[in-house]
Structure 1
Amino acid sequence: MDTSAPLFSEAWIGAVPKDWSVEPLGRWFRERKTTVSDADFAPLSVTMQGIVPQLDNVAKTDNNANRKLVLEGDFAINSRSDRKGSAGVSGLDGSVSVITTVLQPRGLNPRFTHHLLRSRPFQEEFYRWGHGIVDDLWSTKWSDMKSIKIPVPPEPQQRAIADYLDRETAQIDAFIAKNEELVTLLTERRASSVVELIGKYQTIPLKRLVSPARPLTYGILQCGEPVENGVPYIGPSDLPGEGISPTLDSLRRTAPEIAAAYSRSVLKGGDIVVSIGPAFGRVGLLCDDLKGANLTQDTVRVAIEPDKIVAQYLVWVLSSRVANDHWDRQILGATFRRLNLGTLGDTPIPCPPLSEQHRIAADITAMVSEMDDAIRVARRSIELGRERRAALISAAVTGKIDMAAAHD
């Protein structure tokens, strides 16, 4: 590849080698608009990983005859891709959703096409040519898409780039997969270690560990529109989980007259709050500056008896499989998966002596910190791998990598 005399082209492409051309996408593709039934052509899904047999979680329609034909070697791209890269060259004959743009290549190497049109810079350019009100309804039509300029190297270089990217991305993908597996293993080990550290002790129902003067209770049924300088309140979305307290400035506020009707659910520092709605099981141990705040109907205040249970220990129990497995059994088969005061109050809490609770809580906190550090490292490796993969593809398909040197 001769890069000694670069040619400046479209902004998303940059400079390309002198033996490359920069031409409208419509020069190299023809739109395929044939309508078929998935009874005759198997349904396919257009994903970030490419074109695959239709995924189980894809919404099905009654009109399965109104689909677009895709043949092996065609390039399909979700017209509502919104920068996600849902596109690819199909290795299968089949049918796709009508919102998909199906392109029949005319002379480009299919594997080079796959990398080029899935590259991050092209996806951004594809999005830029779209129209819509919001991202979810943003769409790029073929009439606009065909005018996008693309870099076109000579055919031997297309093959060389495709071979290089197939090889290099396979190695990066393997690296990413190993770290994803590591995250899964560490996450599972973290959860099981919490249970092991809690141990097996005689249990006491949660409601018997709560102050009789401040029993388990949920909060405000209708909080109304947010009110500046009103009474702060905590809902499920305000709870990060595992005892982390919401911050005062992050909370919405309700009118004082609304909150006044719910004096029973006023909070204090040191209270535990548990979500019971659809996102049940999030637990927060409140900091002192949340004194006087309130709750929504999907959260419950747990005001403990300090001489019976250690707050941080209880947080770990309620955040663990010890509690969650019990809750899952209690609501098994329920149409709406949510807790209620009775189910929460009956949660069996292992209760060793207070001194042991303090030790267990400290051990869990230390273990979780160590495991979370390891998980963060693995996730960062995944992030860097994905960034490296995207940058490599972008550089290769726009002529920024000398293939001769890359193969040495």
Structure 2
Amino acid sequence: MKDSGVPWIGEIPECWETIRLKFLLEGGLRNGLFKKKDQFGRGTKLVNVSDLYSGDFYINDDTLERVETTPKEVEMFGVHGGDLFFVRSSLKLEGIAIAACAKESEETRVFECHLVGGRPHKNRVNSRFVTYYLHSRTIRDRLISLAQTTTMTTISQDKIGGLPVLVPKLEEQHAIASYLDRKTAAIDSIIEKKQRLLTLLEEKRAALINHAVTKGLNPDVPMKDSGVPWIGEIPEHWRVMKLGYLGQLQNGLNIGGDSFGSGDPFISYGDVYNNAILPSNPVGLVRSSVNDQMKYSLRVGDVLFTRTSETIDDIGIASTCLQEISKVTFAGFLIRFRPLPGNLAPSFSSFLFRNQNIQGYFARNVNLVTRASLSQDILKTLPICLPPLNEQIQIAAHLSKMALAFEQLDRFLVRQVELLKERRQALITAAVTGKIDVRGEEA
């Protein structure tokens, strides 16, 4: 072994080299193609951010969007088999610099402007090996540390290009990639079974919540047609109203990046995305004015929705405020719904707006080009089932007890999956940093 010359990597095998990524690429890194909304839906296949998130190391050509292109754009932004891509801007820190490799394809492809792309020298590096390397824990942590976060997380070409890459001889790169293909496939098979159980558990939980917030708890109550196909019948004494008639909507605070890091509490996109109930002590801070705190305030009963994301599935995720937060403001990537008094119990809202049928409604109606976007106009049209207020409180209490039982089983399965992923990650990291020698491993 010898010193790699990189403190956070440590020792590497004697015959390995340490080379910065930009020197392993033909022509370096480049940003992708920018296109207007009306140019999507036809033409050349387009690799975008969601394609890097939805795959596992490799881009799935079958799900690519299409966009109009010129021959010059295809020449400048064309995708070849083995090309590497990185996410250069993300709403979530953990999403930054996610990497994926393009497979060989007979179809013409280009890549979009939220990505950085590069073409490895085939006589120097194996693309599969480099992709595994970029997904190792050591390298993921390094890339995340190089990112900058304000309202969005970004990383520059220079930071990505300057990343040290450990480079064994080409034959050994092939051996490591093949070894990891086999080993990760075996672990992935077990993970898939555990995740299927989690999916079934979530489907059951979601079905019970949806039934409770649209049918109530009394199976013998007289029913009527709601007038909304995806809701179906509701109790005869309930109402259905569009969200726009039940309260007011407000987009969040847009402010310069230098205002973050100190000041007063700030609710971020992640605070909403990760929590059905808003955290009462958000970690984010922003130097907001008194006017900001009045316009972008939060009260008990307010509901925040995610309004923009890389994927449709992340649009319209809701989080309900159940505790006062002094001087708080919320991010511009969110929309606040403030109910009129007497319409919605806050505890009921935390279940009502977090159910899959409502998110399905958003998925059918949002705009999707390079990013998915939820407007106030779409949110206003959302049909809401309204039981009497006292019945809302009863339903919420019932669902809270049920949720505890589901959470215990969910935590058990999630921990098993986490341990398997840790094992997978440790295996990748050990192989691509030379901590284990796989050259003698048989297929």
With normalisation by structure 1, the TM-score equals 0.61
* 2:16 matched residue in structure 1: 21
> What CA distance in whole angstroms lies between the structure 2 residues aligned with 1:100 and 1:172?
29
What is residue 76 of structure 2 aligned with on the other side?
Answer: 67
- Give the distance between the partners of 1:241 and 1:109, measured in 2 at CA: 37
The amino acid of 1:84's aligned partner reads: A
8 Å CA contact retained: 1:234, 1:294: yes
Change (3 A) 1:89 1:219: closer
> Which residue identity lines up with residue 236 of structure 2 in the other structure?
Q
- Runs of 5+ consecutive residues of structure 2 not aligned to the other structure: 34-41, 90-94, 218-233, 308-314, 368-373
The structure-2 alpha-carbon separation of the partners of 1:80 and 1:290, relative to structure 1 and needing over 3 Å to count, comes to closer
Secondary structure (helix, strand or coil) at the match of 1:150 reads: strand
Counting only pairs closer than 5 Å after superposition, residues 65-214 of structure 1 correspond to structure 2 as 65-68=74-77, 71-72=80-81, 74-78=82-86, 80=88, 84-88=97-101, 90-92=103-105, 95-97=109-111, 99-106=116-123, 111-116=128-133, 118-121=135-138, 136=154, 138-140=156-158, 148=164, 150-153=166-169, 155=171, 157-197=172-212, 198-199=216-217, 201-205=235-239
Query: What is the alpha-carbon distance in structure 1 between the residues aligned to residue 178 and residue 25 of structure 2?
Result: 25
Of 43, 50, 56 in structure 1, the residue corresponding to residue 58 of structure 2 is 50
**Map of 1:199-278 to 2, 5 A cutoff?**
199=217, 201-205=235-239, 218=248, 244=277, 247=280, 255=290, 272-274=301-303
- The 1:339/1:102 distance shift into structure 2, 3 A limit, reads same
In structure 2, relative to structure 1, the CA distance for the partners of 1:83 and 1:298 (3 Å cut) is closer
Q: How does 1:265-344 map to 2 (within 5 A)?
A: 272-274=301-303, 282=318, 284=320, 286-287=322-323, 298-304=336-342, 311=345, 314-315=348-349, 318-319=352-353, 324=358, 336-339=377-380
State how many pairs are aligned: 363
C-alpha RMSD of matched pairs (Å): 6.0
C-alpha deviations, 1:296-347, integer Å up to 9, x for none? 9943234339xxx9x477446734659949987xx9999831227xx77xx4
CA-to-aligned-CA distance 1:235-257 (integer Å, 9 cap, x gap): 99987899846638889987489
- What amino acid maps onto 2:386 in structure 1? I
- Offset from partner CA, 1:259-282 (integer Å, 9 cap, x none): 6x9xxx996xxx633458957784
CA contact 1:41–1:69 (8 Å) conserved in 2: no
State how far apart, in whole Å, the 2-side matches of 1:17 and 1:234 are: 46
In the alignment, the residues of structure 1 paired with residue 356 and residue 141 of structure 2 have an alpha-carbon distance, to the nearest angstrom, of 46
Does the C-alpha gap of structure 1 residues 254 and 57 become closer, same or farther in structure 2, counting only changes over 3 Å? farther
From the superposition, tell whether residues 170 and 374 of structure 1 become closer, same or farther in structure 2 (CA, over 3 Å).
same
Contact map agreement 2:79 2:111 (CA 8 A) in 1:
no
> How far apart, CA to CA, are the structure 2 residues paired with 1:89 and 1:312?
46
Give the Cα separation in 2 of the matches to 1:185 and 1:256.
46
Q: Match for residue 363 of structure 1?
A: 398
Q: CA deviation at 1:187?
A: 2.1
The residue type paired with residue 156 of structure 2 is W
Q: Deviations over 1:80-103 (max 9, x none)?
A: 499634243643355544952112
Q: Deviations over 1:62-82 (max 9, x none)?
A: 66433355555x443449499
Q: Once the 2 structures are TM-superposed, how far is the Cα of residue 368 of structure 1 from its aligned partner? A: 1.1
1:79, 1:304 → 2: CA distance?
A: 45
Which region of structure 1 is more displaced relative to structure 2, 394-403 or 315-324?
A: 315-324
8 Å CA contact 2:265–2:329 kept in 1: the answer is yes
Deviation at 1:195, TM superposition (A): 3.4
Deviation at 1:56, TM superposition (A): 3.5
Partner of 1:67, secondary structure, is helix
1:219 Cα deviation from its structure 2 partner: 8.4
Which SS does the other structure have where 1:367 is aligned? helix
Report the residue type matching 1:385 in the other structure. L
User: 1:371 & 1:58 partners in 2: Cα distance?
Assistant: 41
CA distance in 2 between partners of 1:164 and 1:109 (Å): 13
The alpha carbon displacement at 1:9 in A equals 2.3
Q: TM-score, normalised by structure 2?
A: 0.57
Counterpart Cα distance in 1 of 2:268 and 2:127: 51
1:235·1:298 contact (CA, 8 Å) conserved in 2? no
CA drift at 1:130 = 11
The answer to whether the Cα contact below 8 Å between 2:272 and 2:319 also exists between their aligned partners in 1 is yes
2:252 and 2:437 map into 1 onto residues whose CA distance is 64
In structure 2, what is the Cα distance between the partners aligned to 1:57 and 1:222?
A: 30
> 1:192, 1:222 → 2: CA distance?
31
Deviates more, 1:376-385 or 1:394-403: 376-385
Distance 2:96 2:254 in 1: 36
Query: Does the CA-based 8 Å contact 1:8-1:15 persist in structure 2?
Result: yes
Distance 2:404 2:292 in 1: 42
